[in-house]
Structure 1
């Protein structure tokens, strides 16, 4: 496959004090067998050795900057100004490409897509903070399309965004702190379609922090609801309301049973309905 015919792919990484995991993220891009790629890293003014790490990896990075910013979506928007590619994906410093042939396999499928497709995605592997596999996530669009208006039903670290998505809809809304990726994709997918790239785990994504804290989960749901209202959903859906109920149940259990027992109880419930353990692993 020649570079002239294959789609160029830009990888934009936002980082702030991420020196512990950023090297793995950079290596996962640098070691890709696919040559037609661009790596952009936007650092928010780190003071933990991240800048020194970026300097050591300068030969692998097309563009990087370290300066204060207003959060991840501000950082990604800065990166978009430097992007020179047909397709763009966004990673955090905790993420990394799953193997060294990911972009090769992704590009082969992107080449075959109709010209009007602006969003394509594969699966991601959820990991513990220590890098132990939890389970893969990401299902075909035909299965999750009906849910997208109600929640983020595709894994953003596995998403490829065509340049035309930003030309048509603009950049990330920086007033969001957590779900700006969902709001951006909602602009396209509330009426359009995404394409699932089968048999590809794109990214490994560490869990913990925001994803495991009930209070933060409520913040996420509030932002999701704000995005939905912005896009014409004046009445909250049953799916969103049930998600709120589940978070309040978690909060109640957290207070009564404590965090450890609550995590065990939640995973017991997951096993009953045939899902793998999650809460005791993050």
Structure 2
């Protein structure tokens, strides 16, 4: 296990925001992510890096920025949600954001703009639209986030750490791969606000995809009353039919 603790705070009267980066063997992408955090303007920021035991040069690269990182630990973990829980446990900020390796803030003024705007003291969870970077074409596509429709990405969420003391940690088990979505749905609607500031740009390789993820998200929607049972079944049937068509048509043309 490797660990270190330092202090890095911008000179600002803004609330302290802890940005947590979860990384494992991402030497090619971690520096851009880290710089997007370090370069945030006029914000009181704490940087926490949770590394899963990288052996590809990631730690050596991170050492270049050791004076900017408040907390760094490198050790094996039980998956991304275990790593995220470790980050939450050591965060000293009032607010938390996860900006994992391969992702970045959409601009250097994201946090400044969000916390410069007035907001109700009841707001404890802020989310926004997000950009998806197509790694093949280099183009970015803006995704319109909608909490009611379940279109939300944890990199484009900033929330108060105190919510974990009420609604618990992220569930850590191989069977559940939407623990962040489960946690987000636990937060009462009146505490949630959408900002018009796009928070993150995300590598398309890091966006949760696949049937199992889709099924779990729809089950969470049903549990929290977003959709009816009949809609749940029809959505799963539609998803499977769509996947079958995508498989059959290319194979028929061979």
The alignment's TM-score, normalised by the length of structure 1, stands at: 0.76
- The answer (yes or no) to whether the contact 2:12–2:42 under 8 Å persists in 1 is no
Residues 48-76 of structure 1: per-residue CA shift (max 9 Å, x gap): 21111122221221111110001111101
Q: Distance in 2 between matches of 1:131 and 1:86?
A: 38
Deviation at 1:99, TM superposition (A): 1.3
Instruction: Give the direction of change, closer, same or farther, for the CA distance of 1:209–1:121 in structure 2 (3 Å limit).
Output: closer
Residues 178-214 of structure 1: per-residue CA shift (max 9 Å, x gap): 211100011114x54510111x121100113765xxx
Residues 131-182 of structure 1: per-residue CA shift (max 9 Å, x gap): 723321234xxxx4543xxxx3223211111122112212111126421110
Q: Distance in 2 between matches of 1:91 and 1:15?
A: 10
Q: Distance in 1 between matches of 2:235 and 2:65?
A: 42
Report the counterpart of residue 8 of structure 1 in structure 2.
16
- The answer (yes or no) to whether the contact 1:71–1:177 under 8 Å persists in 2 is no
Instruction: Give the direction of change, closer, same or farther, for the CA distance of 1:210–1:119 in structure 2 (3 Å limit).
Output: closer
Q: Distance in 1 between matches of 2:136 and 2:69?
A: 26
Q: Distance in 2 between matches of 1:218 and 1:209?
A: 16
- The answer (yes or no) to whether the contact 2:21–2:99 under 8 Å persists in 1 is yes
Q: Which runs of structure 2 are paired with 1:96-115 in the superposition (5 Å)?
A: 96-109=104-117, 112-115=118-121
The alignment's TM-score, normalised by the length of structure 2, stands at: 0.84
Instruction: Give the direction of change, closer, same or farther, for the CA distance of 1:226–1:252 in structure 2 (3 Å limit).
Output: closer
- The answer (yes or no) to whether the contact 1:137–1:155 under 8 Å persists in 2 is no
- The answer (yes or no) to whether the contact 1:14–1:41 under 8 Å persists in 2 is yes
- The answer (yes or no) to whether the contact 1:3–1:35 under 8 Å persists in 2 is yes
Residues 240-277 of structure 1: per-residue CA shift (max 9 Å, x gap): 44442343133212322339x9xxxxxxxxxxxxxxxx
In the alignment, does 2:195 pair up with 1:203?
no
In the alignment, does 2:244 pair up with 1:252?
yes
Instruction: Give the direction of change, closer, same or farther, for the CA distance of 1:129–1:241 in structure 2 (3 Å limit).
Output: farther
- The answer (yes or no) to whether the contact 2:97–2:158 under 8 Å persists in 1 is yes
The equivalent position to 1:92 in structure 2, one of 88, 100, 125, is 100
Q: Which runs of structure 2 are paired with 1:114-125 in the superposition (5 Å)?
A: 114-125=120-131
In the alignment, does 2:59 pair up with 1:60?
no
Instruction: Give the direction of change, closer, same or farther, for the CA distance of 1:174–1:237 in structure 2 (3 Å limit).
Output: farther
SS in structure 1 at match of 2:29 = helix
Report the counterpart of residue 179 of structure 1 in structure 2.
178
SS in structure 2 at match of 1:205 = strand
Report the counterpart of residue 4 of structure 2 in structure 1.
none
Deviation at 1:93, TM superposition (A): 0.6
Q: Which runs of structure 2 are paired with 1:123-138 in the superposition (5 Å)?
A: 123-130=129-136, 132-138=138-144
**For structure 1, which runs of at least 5 residues remain unmatched after alignment?**
262-282
